[in-house]
Amino acid sequence: MLVTLAKFEIKNLIRDKMTLMMLLWPLALGAIGKYLISSGVLEGQAVSVTAMILSLITGFAYGAMSGFSLLDDRDDQVFASIQISPVSLAL
């Protein structure tokens, strides 16, 4: 059942262009940060601040994506259909 739910979630993530963008956005930020740090554009304390800000933004983006996915599932009443299914959710 978990595999089926995972397939459903992956299909929903890829189907919607906004969630696909939110999946790729932290990777793009990481690439920009790596370029800025390795090329020597940033020096001294700016390197630490940039790494910290990029880490916070990345976590926020994935958290927002998870929250929007949960809201989408609630709107589609996925949780109600899981609750009434005869399959146990215990692992």
Domain residues of the chain, as ranges? 2-83
pLDDT of residue 85 exceeding 80: no
SS3 letters for 30-76? Answer: HHHHHHHHHCCCCCCHHHHHHHHHHHHHHHHHHHHHHHHHHHHHHHC
The predicted-structure confidence for 4-49, as pLDDT tens digits, reads as follows 778 877 887 777 787 778 778 888 988 988 888 888 888 889 888 9
pLDDT for 19 equals 76
**Rounded to two decimals, what is the model's pTM?**
0.56
* pLDDT range class, residue 78, cuts 50, 70, 90: low
Grouping H, G, I as helix, E, B as strand and the rest as coil, residue 8 is helix
pLDDT of residue 90 exceeding 80: no
pLDDT for 38 equals 87
Per-range mean pLDDT, top range of 64-68, 78-82, 83-87 = 64-68
